[in-house]
Structure 1
Amino acid sequence: MSDGILDVDLLAFEQGSGAARRAVVDGATRSLETGFVYTSHDVPDDLLDTAYGMLREFFEKSPEEKQTAIAPGANGQTGYTGLLVETAASSDKPDWKEMLNWATPIPTGHPLKRNYPTAYPDQVLPDALVPGISDVLYRFHDTVADLQRRFLRVIA
């Protein structure tokens, strides 16, 4: 087990020499023994600030307003999940957390949507409460998913 979570440089891996790339791989491998790793990234600060600002605006709404973003039958795969709704697998007590889940929409007719409709429901986001949030969160999701794919190259 390593001594802690390391900060590795994804951009050095992508743009660096063989030695720099090996150092990043080594750092990621050692850090992942803890289950976590920090990395530099190129996600634009304005996208992060806007996404987190809109999420803060949503979560500051009243419980009644947030309830309008619940996706019935989606089992938490999209939309709002309120306080004391979910229970961790290792507990019998509901969690004191609330969430807003989303993903890139899957087009109608896509095989995943046809074969697993409850696993891939239509996305529910609170544009009525926070205008423009869907566009920002979809862009944020796609940007972070791309960052994850890029980082998986380090692990591979």
Structure 2
Amino acid sequence: MTIPLINFAKLTSSDKSTQQQEIKRLDQACRDIGFFYLIDTDIDTALINRIMRAAQRFFAQPLQQKLAIDIKNSCNHRGYGAVGEEQLDEINKADWKETFDMALDLPSDHPLAARYPKMYGPNQNPSDPNVLETLHDYYVTAFGVAMKVLEAMAQALDLAPDFFTRCFKEHVTVLRMIHYPPRPEQTHDNGAGAHTDYGCITLLLQDEVGGLEVKHRNGEWVQATPMEGALVVNIGDLMQRWTNDEYTSTTHRVKASAADTHRYSFPFFVEPDYETQVACVPTCQSNTKPAKYAPILSGDWIQSRFDATYAYREQEA
């Protein structure tokens, strides 16, 4: 199995023939494996270098300084997560990584924060203004790329181009920074346990170290080798439900970093408005293939997955 390569410039080309050819390739990738490399995006080298430096500065801080914005102090899951806080593989050991999560920054008295306090509300921000500015710049740029990818997916499924993107007015899309520190001797090799992502799609920027592995349907684990300037994009569980399993949410994992090696990555979890009614899209069902999943609110689904993954949220639930 190889991970396909999709050209963003072609996907958004004004030349309809070029665009349609790339949309067909995108559609095939989403059906066959649910993973692809995305090249020639609007995320330029300068911004990539900035966010890599920002992550290094943030995670190099003393632990007590990072714990000032501990994610356990945030009811809406924003801020710093220490090593071992998350366990993506619900059976095996906790992940060997530390994280920082941010999303739309809404005041605590915002109507959505009042209605859904576990999903909306204020961020817990890094104290370094340069780090914060870089995160905001990356969030806005990556969101623009994600919306173009979702438009292409809608067209591939013979839907209106805005079928998915119209559900992103008050979205819960999350930008995460991850640091995989060196693995101590005699420690398990689980950087991030085997899992599928929860939302629509994920756009992953990774450094040159590598470690991401994708599970083929035959059980083989395939390396998603870093490619300079490229994003790794994958389908999430919510999109698989939405498309009646036409698009595949594929299991993946990250091996722990070797001794003296630090790895940084930046998943951008693209998740729609909480109250989005996720029901099987009309072009993915028929008399011979009825809808497999009952309709569900996007936010209810995402929240249930968070509660199963983080011990502190499970206790609250």
Q: TM-score, normalised by structure 1?
A: 0.84
Q: What is the CA distance between 1:76 and its match in structure 2?
A: 7.1
Structure 1 residues not aligned, in runs of 5+: none
- Tell me the distance in 2 between the aligned counterparts of 1:44 and 1:60: 25
Structure holding more strand per residue: 2
Preserved contact between residue 78 and residue 103 of structure 1 (Cα < 8 Å): yes
Q: Is the 8 A contact 2:112 2:120 kept in 1?
A: yes
The equivalent of 1:96 in structure 2 is 96
Alpha-carbon distance change, 105 to 88 in structure 1, aligned in 2, over 3 angstroms: same
SS at match of 2:143: helix
In 1, distance between residues paired with 2:125 and 2:152?
33
Q: How does 1:1-156 map to 2 (within 5 A)?
A: 3-32=1-30, 33-40=32-39, 41-74=41-74, 77-107=77-107, 109-127=109-127, 130-156=128-154
Structure 2 gap segments, 5+ residues each:
155-317
Q: CA deviation at 1:108?
A: 5.2
Bigger share in helix: 1
Maintained 8 Å contact 1:68/1:126: no
Of 45-54 and 146-155, deviating more is: 45-54
In 1, are the aligned partners of 2:76 and 2:121 still within 8 Å (CA)? no
Q: Deviations over 1:25-55 (max 9, x none)?
A: 1211122221211122011322221122111
Question: For 1:121 and 1:18, how far apart are their aligned partners in 2?
Answer: 41
Q: Which runs of 4+ in 1 moved over 4 A?
A: none
Q: Percent identity?
A: 20
Listed one character per residue, the Cα deviations across residues 70-120 of structure 1 (whole Å, up to 9, x for unaligned) are 144425721100011122253253221111001131245433212112322
2:19 counterpart SS class: helix
Moved more, 10-19 or 96-105: 10-19
Task: Give, in whole Å, the separation in 2 of the partners of 1:18 and 1:100.
Answer: 40
Secondary structure of the corresponding residue to residue 2 of structure 2: coil
Q: Secondary structure at the match of 1:8?
A: strand
Equivalents in 1 of 2:111, 2:69: separation in Å? 26
Q: State whether residues 88 and 95 of structure 2, in contact with CA within 8 Å, keep that contact through their aligned partners in structure 1.
A: yes
TM-score normalised by length of structure 2: 0.44
Residue 24 of structure 1 contacts residue 154 of structure 1 at CA under 8 Å; is this kept in 2?
no
C-alpha distance 67-73 of structure 1, shift in aligned 2 (>3 A): closer
Whole-Å Cα distance in 1 between the matches of residues 67 and 76 of structure 2? 13
Aligned-partner Cα distance in 1 for 2:75–2:114: 17
Aligned to 2:162: none
Q: 1:132, 1:58 → 2: CA distance?
A: 10
Alpha-carbon contact 2:6-2:37 (below 8 Å) kept: yes
- Secondary structure at the counterpart of residue 15 of structure 1: coil
1:75–1:83 Cα change, 3 Å: farther
